[in-house]
């Protein structure tokens, strides 16, 4: 935990313009908090114009850029443009532009497009993510120079009749009458479901009442032996203290490797849930039968829709498998909102 705090402080120093040496990750454990704090104060360069402009920043995703580069016609246009600027080819031109981008120019893009929780992944991961965003900026500059429009090409998704999917007794967030409905079929013991949670929370925060988010229980008992019991626990929380459900939900995903039955009580205590009521639910045969039946109905419903793995999302009838990242889902939701106008 202490090391993660130091990584976060060092990341903040990088945000303010400091460039740590390549072996910073190796020496970080030996550096005191005082030295790191002084480093942040020394490097801080507040830029009010940058802060004001942050909301207006746009950067195509890596997938969008790749679509342009994979188009022979678009790539030739970019390559010819690079040669007209005296470069051998467009990739060398892109490298040159990237080398000219300052940390000050990069930082607001990094702040906006970095994945959630980057402070947990260490110095090397932060540096790698900054380089990815740097390259996206450079490619986008070239695309803008030739006035080439970058957009996400239409992807083919399996369509399902989402309006028949039940949600009456499911945990939900948002506006039931919103133009966009997202059904999430997930498993509390699934690594990729856990991986998707930060992006899903970010999407729910961004769109608020513009979307309706419904969680469906989909524990894969064949490969996750502790999942079903965790889903029962979550449904008991929903029964006895619904206001605590989503905090408990997050705790279960954060501890997806430790969902053994004996650990579930500690997750209840951690979220300030009434332990007696929760235990009463977990030990009540009738309630257990009802909850198990509801989970089995979600499983049956999901399988009928063609769902085989987790996480699977259904956005206004588009069935999407996997933790595909914030930008991917953000683009789909934006498009659905525009189409509904």
Architecture of domain 158-339: 3-Layer(aba) Sandwich (3.40)
Distance set, CA 66 to CA 88, 145, 265 (Å) = 20, 17, 47
**Digit-coded pLDDT (tens) for 67-115:** 888 888 788 888 888 888 889 999 999 999 999 999 999 999 998 888 8
* Confidence category of residue 149, pLDDT binned at 50, 70, 90: low
Supply 304's token pair: 């009928």
Helix (H) or strand (E) holding 43: helix 33-43
User: What pTM does this model have?
Assistant: 0.59
Contact, 268 vs 222, CB < 8 A? Answer: no
Structure tokens at 100: 């000219």
Give the single-character DSSP code of 88: S
> What is the reported pLDDT for 116?
73
The residues near 327 (Cβ < 8 Å, ≥ 6 apart) are: 61, 63, 113
Alpha carbons 166 and 261: distance in angstroms, whole number: 29
How many Å apart are CA 60 and CA 108, to the nearest integer? 15
DSSP state of 260: -
Q: Which residue has the tokens 């600027």?
A: 85
* Residues sharing a CB contact under 8 Å with residue 255, sequence separation 6 or more, in sequence order: 263, 267
Helix (H) or strand (E) holding 199: helix 191-207
Q: Which residues pair with 213 in a beta bridge?
A: 173, 182
180-209 tens-digit pLDDT: 999 999 999 999 899 999 999 999 999 999
Quote the CA–CA distance of 282 and 241 in Å, as a whole number.
Answer: 13
Domain ranges of the chain: 1-45, 57-153, 158-339
Q: Given this model, what pLDDT does residue 38 score?
A: 46
Q: How confident is the model at residue 150 (pLDDT cuts 50, 70, 90)?
A: low
Closest by alpha carbon to 64, among 130, 155, 150?
A: 150
CB atoms near residue 318 (< 10 Å): 18
Q: Do 279 and 237 meet the contact criterion of CB atoms below 8 Å apart?
A: no
């Amino acid at each position: 935990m202490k090391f993660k705090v130091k990584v976060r402080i060092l990341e903040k120093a990088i945000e303010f313009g400091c460039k740590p040496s390549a072996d910073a990750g190796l020496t970080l454990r030996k550096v005191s908090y005082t030295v790191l704090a002084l480093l942040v104060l020394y490097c801080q360069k507040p830029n009010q114009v940058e802060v004001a402009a942050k909301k207006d920043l746009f950067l195509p995703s890596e997938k969008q850029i790749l679509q342009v580069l994979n188009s022979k016609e678009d790539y030739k246009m970019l390559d010819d443009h690079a040669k007209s600027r005296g470069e051998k080819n467009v990739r060398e031109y892109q490298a040159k532009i990237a080398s000219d981008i300052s940390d000050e120019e990069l930082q607001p893009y990094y702040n906006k497009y970095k994945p959630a929780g980057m402070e947990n992944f260490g110095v090397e991961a932060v540096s790698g993510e900054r380089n990815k965003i740097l390259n996206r900026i450079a490619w986008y500059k070239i695309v803008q120079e030739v006035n080439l429009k970058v957009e996400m090409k239409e992807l083919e998704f399996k369509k399902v009749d989402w309006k028949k999917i039940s949600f009456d007794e499911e945990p939900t967030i948002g506006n039931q009458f919103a133009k966009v409905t997202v059904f999430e079929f997930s498993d509390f013991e699934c690594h990729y479901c856990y991986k998707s949670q930060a992006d899903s929370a970010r999407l729910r925060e961004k769109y608020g009442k513009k979307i309706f988010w419904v969680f469906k229980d989909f524990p894969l008992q064949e490969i996750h032996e502790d999942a079903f019991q965790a889903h029962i626990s979550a449904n008991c929380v929903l029964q006895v203290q619904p206001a605590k459900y989503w905090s408990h939900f997050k705790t279960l995903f954060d501890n997806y490797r430790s969902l053994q039955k004996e650990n579930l009580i500690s997750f209840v205590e951690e979220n300030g849930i009434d332990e007696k009521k929760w235990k009463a639910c977990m030990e009540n045969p009738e309630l257990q039968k009802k909850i198990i039946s509801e989970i089995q109905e979600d499983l049956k419903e999901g399988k009928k829709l063609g769902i085989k793995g987790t996480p699977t999302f259904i956005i206004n009838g588009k069935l999407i498998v996997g933790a595909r990242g914030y930008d991917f889902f953000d683009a789909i939701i934006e498009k659905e909102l525009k189409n509904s106008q």
